[in-house]
Every structure is written in structure tokens, then in C-alpha cells.
Amino acid sequence: APPKTSSSRRSKKRAGRSPVIRLSWKVDNPDNDRLRYTLFFKGEGETDWRSILPSDSQLRSTSYEWNTAAIPEGTYLVKVEASDESVNPTDRQRSSNKVSAPVVIDNQPPRVVKLEARARRLTGQAIDGYSPIARLEYSLDGRIWSPIFPDDSIFDQRRESFGFELPSTLPDGAYTIVVRAWDRAQNSGTARVLTEIR
């Protein structure tokens, strides 16, 4: 009987924001033939599938850790093909494939730009090349992170402007402010500015 592949699933490792995507799939293999798997990807709207595995690879397990560090940002499809070619003659070989749901690859951090401080008032922008900005926060002199909202109060764009006031109870003096932006792919970027309150 030909092997049947179920939909492949992916989950990103979040420890340290790795570019590695863990691909995994299930196979219905009623005659328990030894199977070989091949993996391919293509961008949405593209016609040609490109191999994920090295040409000499013999993948036997039903999972693979795909390092996407060199893949441009975008939305991709992944195809897994299962074949019993290694244990059957040519006329009895069977194969089956399945295409994943869209996979977003975004390994580039957002940038915090135009960060300016005038006494207690700070303004700036967070920009990402692919994903919407998902979160903004600031730290005062390396202390705890406090949330910032964009000017329109909604995190839904790849460019979000923001402005906020430091606490009125803050004593006069010089301070270092770090602003951190996160995109929806959990990449983060920071910028620093100095301010003086008198």
C-alpha cells in the first residue's frame, strides 16, 4: 500500500529566537515499509519547489529542524514526500506527498528609529520589514520593562509611531532610556537615548 502523509505541522523554537523551524508529520504506513522522506519549499505564488535537504540526505525520521536563517522573509509552503523506494523494486514503489499550511519566515528584527528625548517626553518609531509590530516597551536605567502604546493605540502596522511621558515623580537628573520593539514573529530590536530632567 502507498504511504499516506498527514498534514505537516511546524512549531518555532522560541528559546533565544532561533531561525530553526521544526517540521513534523505523520504517515499512515500499513505494510510498515521503510520510508524515505524528502522536503521541499516554495514561496507563495512561486511555481518551482526547492529542496530543503542536502542532495545526499537520507531522511528516515518524521521530523526535521529547518534552519531558515538564509531564507528571505516571506510566506512559504512546505511539501513532504514519503516514498518506499529503498525497499521495493521500481514497479512496486509508491509515494505520497502533502503540502503544509502557509509558513511565515521572518528572522529580521524590527528597528527603533527617530528616538528623541526632550526632558520627560520621548518619541520615536518602530519599523519592521515584514511583520506588524506587536509590542513596545521601555526600560529606565536598566530597570524593569514598562509597556508603551503606539500613537493610534493599536498594534497592527509594520510602522508604529509612539510618544510617552516618563513618570512625573522621577527626580531631576540624567537617565538612559532603552526602547524595545517586538514584531509578530517574536524578533526584537532596541534603541537607546539619553535624557536629562531639570
How do residues 22-42 score in pLDDT, each as one tens digit? 999 998 877 777 888 999 999
- What pTM does this model have? 0.74
Q: Are 76 and 84 in contact (CB under 8 A)?
A: no
Q: Are 176 and 112 in contact (CB under 8 A)?
A: no
* CA gap 112, 161 in Å, rounded: 10
Q: Are 141 and 175 in contact (CB under 8 A)?
A: yes
Q: Given this model, what pLDDT does residue 139 score? A: 97
* CA gap 124, 164 in Å, rounded: 9
Nearest to 51 by CA among 79, 13, 9: 79
Nearest to 182 by CA among 114, 111, 122: 111
Nearest to 83 by CA among 71, 93, 70: 93
Q: Given this model, what pLDDT does residue 81 score? A: 93
Q: Given this model, what pLDDT does residue 32 score? A: 75
Amino acid identity at 131: S
Taking 70 as the pLDDT cut, the residues of the chain under it are 1-16, 86-92
Q: Given this model, what pLDDT does residue 9 score? A: 43
* CA gap 24, 78 in Å, rounded: 11
Nearest to 75 by CA among 113, 114, 117, 46: 46
Q: Given this model, what pLDDT does residue 96 score? A: 86
